[in-house]
Amino acid sequence: MNPSILFYVGTFPVYQPVFWTWVIMALLSLGSFILTRNLQRIPHGAQHFLEVGVDWVESLISVDIGPARKVFVPVVLMTALYVGLANTIGVIPGAYSPTQDLSTTLALALLIYVLGHVAGILKKGFRAWLKGFFEPFVIMLPLNIAGEISEFVSHSFRLYGNIFGGGILLSIIYMMAPYVVPVPLLAWFGIIMGIIQTAVFTLLASVYLQNKLS
DSSP helix/strand/coil, 23: helix
Q: Look at residue 155 in the predicted model and tell me its pLDDT.
A: 81
Domain presence at residue 27: no
What is the total count of domains within the chain? 1
What pLDDT, in 10s, does the model give residues 120-178?
887 788 888 888 888 877 888 888 888 888 888 888 888 888 888 777 777 776 676 65
What pLDDT, in 10s, does the model give residues 23-73?
999 998 888 888 777 777 777 767 777 777 777 777 766 555 555 666 777
Residue 41, φ and ψ in degrees, nearest 5: -65, -40
Domain presence at residue 65: yes
What pLDDT, in 10s, does the model give residues 167-203?
777 777 667 665 655 666 666 777 888 888 888 888 8
Name residues whose C-beta falls within 8 Å of residue 174's C-beta, 6 or more positions apart in sequence. Answer: 181, 183, 186
Q: Look at residue 144 in the predicted model and tell me its pLDDT.
A: 84
Domain presence at residue 30: no
Which residue range is the domain that position 107 belongs to? 52-213
Q: Look at residue 183 in the predicted model and tell me its pLDDT.
A: 60
| Pure H helices in the chain | 16-36, 46-60, 69-88, 102-124, 126-131, 141-176, 183-213
DSSP helix/strand/coil, 14: strand
152 contacts 113 by C-beta, under 8 angstroms: yes
Domain presence at residue 34: no
Which residue in 204, 191, 199 sits closest to 87, CA to CA?
191
Domain presence at residue 207: yes
- Length of the chain equals 214
Domain presence at residue 134: yes
Domain presence at residue 180: yes
Q: Look at residue 182 in the predicted model and tell me its pLDDT.
A: 62
Q: Look at residue 180 in the predicted model and tell me its pLDDT.
A: 59
Domain presence at residue 120: yes
